[in-house]
Amino acid sequence: MYNAKAYSAASATSPLASTPIPRRDPGDNDVQIEILFCGICHSDLHQVRNEWSEAMPTVYPCVPGHEIVGRVTSVGSAVTAFKAGDLAAVGCMVDSDRTCPECQAGQEQFCPNFTLTYNFPDSHGTAPVTYGGYSDGIVVDEKFVLRVPPNLDLAGVAPLLCAGITTFSPMRHWNVSKGKKVGVVGLGGLGHMGVKFAHALGAHVVVFTTSPNKKEDALRLGADEVVISKNADEMKKHAGSFNFILDAVSADHDINAYLGLLARDGNLTLVGAPEKPLAISAFNLIMGRRSLSGSPIGGIAETQEMLDFCGEHNITADVEVIPIQKVNEAYERLLKSDVKYRFSIDMASLKA
Ligand SMILES: [Zn+2]
Ligand SMILES: [Zn+2]
């Protein structure tokens, strides 16, 4: 074991602060990565503040971060896919059992025995729980390390590892492609990636937003049309016309208004998670044989496919780069949606 530099929270109410953390020495199958950038995901904030205490109580100290990109510093003797000096990325998972039907199908995100990148029991026993990417380095089994296309801006690559795959995966599953009409509800960290992917996949993209001042940005990101969702007349014009709608809103909202916009066999997928149960009108689903589903991240192979797609289409997240010393401030701004569209921590600041 060795010590790495990190930012951690000591309790649900303490700010993140600089602390050393233990990392394991790379084993035969491990890749050791110097972290260059780590994105800030809203789940980081929930986890740090123990807001998911029922499902995933936070173990302190907590080192969040699952949007990791960096450079390989060393590899174990059995590693074949990476060598020192390569770019590398790590997302929300660092391991799984690899034997269950989900793992066999390449759907590790549904493995009942996966290991999440932080706040998850550490099977290596390096610490009580796994520690995430708000750190200068991490050691991960090569099966869970992704390759990064060399042409992309690394600060903007980091958020692809959660916000990117979370929006890309359902679009692939529901066959978003040329000739399809696709809606994206909510233009935040997730939504702005949804717009970029839907556009690059060739769909006709309509962004729904409550704020008229987001219109220009939506068009810049790749939207063909922008609908102000509070305007009932504007909404009505699109009734029954969408093949797929990605709903990236985590605040309470009227989902029936969107279900009614789906065409026959259209699907609405939730990637945002409102706190309260949603009220669904059954007729909205029955008429038109519409479906409603949800989707988490993607498997490792699909995450690699997403990164390669981003390399081909020159897609990264729109980020505001911050030094790690500003992370607590960034959390407060995140609560006000005051970021376009994701914070990316420049880990060089951790050396300061
Ligand atoms: Zn995330
Ligand atoms: Zn499994």
Pick the residue with more confidence: 94 or 277? 94
Give per-residue pLDDT as tens, 118-176.
999 999 999 999 999 999 999 999 999 999 999 999 999 999 999 999 999 999 999 99
Identify the pLDDT of residue 139.
98
Instruction: Give the Å distance between the CA of 162 and the centre of ligand 2.
Output: 20
Instruction: Specify the pLDDT at position 274.
Output: 85
Distances (CA, A) of 304 to 88, 156, 279: 11, 16, 36
Q: How many Å lie between the centroid of ligand 2 and the Cα of residue 280?
A: 33
Ligand closest to 113 (CA) is 2
Q: Has residue 276 got a pLDDT over 90?
A: no
CA of 122 to the centre of ligand 2 (A): 16
Output phi, psi for 115, to 5 deg: -115, 120
- Least Cα distance to 168 among 139, 153, 146 occurs for 146
Share of the chain above pLDDT 70, in %: 100
Enter the tokens of residue 114.
């996966």
Beta strands in the chain (DSSP E): 2-8, 17-23, 30-40, 68-75, 87-90, 93-95, 115-116, 137-141, 181-185, 204-209, 225-228, 242-247, 262-270, 291-294, 319-323, 342-346
This prediction's pTM: 0.97
**Per-residue confidence (pLDDT) for residue 310, from 0 to 100:** 98
* pLDDT at position 92: 98
**Ligand that lies nearest to the alpha carbon of residue 334, given by its number in the listed order:** 1
Res 352 pLDDT > 90: no
What is the number of the ligand closest to the CA of 100? Answer: 2
Q: pLDDT of 296-348, one tens digit each?
A: 999 999 999 999 999 999 999 999 999 999 999 999 999 999 999 999 999 99
Instruction: For the chain, give the mean pLDDT.
Output: 97
Near ion ligand 1, which residues have CB within 5 Å?
A: 41, 43, 162
Is 16 within 8 Å of 40 (Cβ atoms)?
Answer: no
Q: What is the pLDDT of residue 273?
A: 86
- Nearest ligand to the C-alpha of residue 65? 1
In the reported structure, the alpha carbon of residue 289 is separated from the centroid of ligand 1 by a whole-number distance in angstroms of: 32
**Per-residue pLDDT reduced to its tens digit, 6-52:** 999 999 999 999 999 999 999 999 999 999 999 999 999 999 999 99
Could you tell me the distance, in angstroms and rounded to a whole number, from the CA of residue 118 to the centre of ligand 2?
A: 18
What are the structure tokens assigned to 302, written together? 């699909």
Q: What angle do CA 302, 193, 306 make, to 5 degrees?
A: 20
Half-sphere exposure of 279 (CA within 13 A, CB side): 4
Q: Say how many Å lie between the CA of residue 116 and the centre of ligand 2.
A: 13
Q: Is the pLDDT of residue 275 over 90?
A: no
Which numbered ligand comes closest to the C-alpha of 91? 1
Q: What is the CA radius of gyration of the chain?
A: 20
Q: Can you tell me whether residue 190 is helix, strand or coil?
A: helix
CA 264 / ligand 1 centre spacing (Å) = 32
- Residue 104 CA to residue 248 CA, distance in Å, equals 29
Q: Taking phi first (over 0 means left), then psi (-120 to 50 degrees means alpha), and beta for anything else, what does residue 153 get?
A: beta
Q: Which ligand is nearest to the CA of 103?
A: 2
Say how many Å lie between the CA of residue 244 and the centre of ligand 1: 23
How many angstroms is it from 110 CA to the middle of ligand 2? 7
User: Which residue has better confidence, 205 or 54?
Assistant: 205
- Ligand minimally distant from the alpha carbon of residue 104: 2
Residue 177 CA to ligand 1 centre (angstroms): 25
Q: Angle formed by the axes of helices 300-313 and 189-200, to 10°?
A: 70
Q: How far away, in angstroms, is 259 Cα from ligand 1 center?
A: 26
* Per-residue pLDDT at 28: 98
What was the pLDDT predicted at 24? 97
Instruction: Say how many Å lie between the CA of residue 147 and the centre of ligand 2.
Output: 22
What pLDDT, on the 0 to 100 scale, is given for residue 36? 98
